[in-house]
Structure 1
């Protein structure tokens, strides 16, 4: 499991926002460093809240998941996963052509769910 962290302003100092995949789920946590040590102040599943997600994208990089030109027999399964991921029917062709951008953790999970030969790279 890999964890990417961004540092954000928080309370009397800073906090580390982590974005990762665990047990087949997208997870995130926020840890604040204070005089008493580091402690988790927030955590959750699925997509990070927008301001923290933006910090992860800015500090850790934006990644893009790309699909091969010919998905073959896996095409229907990939389209099903993309629909469940929230893409509208009318967007699917463009998504297959240009890929999906996001955090490394978001795209790692999406790639795992697609079960097809895809690749993830930095934008």
Structure 2
């Protein structure tokens, strides 16, 4: 699995990871130190929590919303890559496609179609 920060981004602000940006996370989502600090500061008092209880997109302009869409898709791609790495790890451990499909609530065939070819392409290009 790719465990480097440089290939990841903060799932909250889209800042790329690297030597200057520490990232922490799990299950594909990552968060930078600045966002951790911001979330901590903004969740300390009931007044601040109430002030931030409206969705941020309500105050965003149409151009701002459009600008966020590529970042949202990059975050989704990051999560999908993590899922692919996880399935590849399961398959390396000889977990069957049927078992993986069962925990995902889909058939063996469906999970194979979704993940087998991506892992094969990745291995072929590496």
Alignment TM-score, normalising by the size of structure 2: 0.31
Kindly name which structure, 1 or 2, has the bigger radius of gyration based on alpha carbons. Answer: 2
More strand by share: 1
Higher normalized contact order (CA 8 Å, seq sep 6+, divided by chain length): 1
More helix by share: 2
Alignment TM-score, normalising by the size of structure 1: 0.32
